[in-house]
Chains A and B, each alone.
Chain A
């Protein structure tokens, strides 16, 4: 069965500092990988996705993520964090093919930004 682990439940960074959120997945085939962000009281907004090709993917709001197959990881990065980035971040894995696109989510990482 597929699973996603986000080892860090909470992370606090200073505004302007760099950020890396970790995501490890377990999946038996080629996965689709996603990062979503959720602000308080909101639904999920897609930041970026990886399907194939270049293992470094760019997303919205200045985020990027790197797929490392050998480490089963898909870590999210941002070079300079803004106060508005404070939110909960979810990594998710989905299947490829006609079985549909059910997503399995990690437990989330709550990001706090210090002024």
Chain B
């Protein structure tokens, strides 16, 4: 049973560029959440996708956007990159929005460095 997969593993961009990160959820899961983990900090919730729609959003600017595809995979897009966007981006999947007994399973992350 494949777990949550993310690509690429590492990425280097320059300020002002745009980046797309990808996530495939664990088999049987239909909900994908994205988190940003800055160095030395805990993960912070960016947003969550279910049924191809953004259902919840954390305190992140509109430069952060996403998409979910019919096969439940997801993309995170960040426009106009800032140095402060350098972080580990984690994708987590779960089996629905209900929240009852749901556990999020995390991928290994994509480490983004903005120069």
Contacts and interface: CB of A to CB of B under 8 A. Distances in A.
B108 A105 contact: no
A22 to B, nearest CB: 14
Interface stretch (B65-73, B78-86, B95-103): B95-103
Interface of B (DSSP majority class): loop
A94 B31 CA distance: 15
A96 B102 CA distance: 9
B98 A90 contact: no
Given A42-B108, A43-B107, A100-B55, A105 B44 contact: yes
Interface of A (DSSP majority class): loop
Interface residues of B, number: 31
A36 B106 contact: yes
Nearest to B9: A41
Given A46-B105, A102-B48, A102-B58, A90 B99 contact: no
Interface in A82-115: 90, 92, 94-108
Contacts of B33: 101-103
Interface of B: 4, 31, 33, 35, 40-45, 48, 50, 55-56, 58, 90, 92, 94, 97-109
